[in-house]
Structure 1
């Protein structure tokens, strides 16, 4: 998938990938439609970080979820 463009489809892909990778129990509460494409670069940065690691500590997951919450529209 080409993630170079800030489209809503890419936002949806990124959010779903982050939720899957972090195995988020509260993933249902985080809808891709809650994120605006104007924050795409920030979302992409989080996606790149999440994609680059195999494991996350509880504090890392909390920090990522907190940052995602800050980026919601």
Structure 2
């Protein structure tokens, strides 16, 4: 799957994967419908960083979630 193309499907995949990687308990905060496709590039950058980083500390996880909140509709 190529995530370089902006699409609703790719956005949903990125959000769902970040939710899984961040081990989010309350999945309602990671509903792909709550994120705007206009923020795709920023969300893709966060996704790439998260994939590269792998394991996060608790503080890093909280920072990622806080950053994701900024991109919600």
Interval containing the TM-score (normalised by the shorter chain): over 0.9
Q: Once superposed, which parts of structure 1, at least 4 consecutive aligned residues long, lie more than 3 Å away?
A: none
TM-score, normalisation: structure 2 = 0.93
Aligned residue for 2:30? 30
In structure 1, how many angstroms separate the alpha carbons of the residues matched to 2:53 and 2:4? 21
In structure 2, how many angstroms separate the alpha carbons of the residues matched to 1:72 and 1:62? 16
Pairwise CA RMSD = 0.9
TM-score, normalisation: structure 1 = 0.93
In structure 1, how many angstroms separate the alpha carbons of the residues matched to 2:17 and 2:62? 17
In structure 2, how many angstroms separate the alpha carbons of the residues matched to 1:22 and 1:63? 11
Runs of 5+ consecutive residues of structure 1 not aligned to the other structure? none
Task: Note if contact 2:19-2:27 (Cα within 8 Å) is conserved in structure 1.
Answer: yes
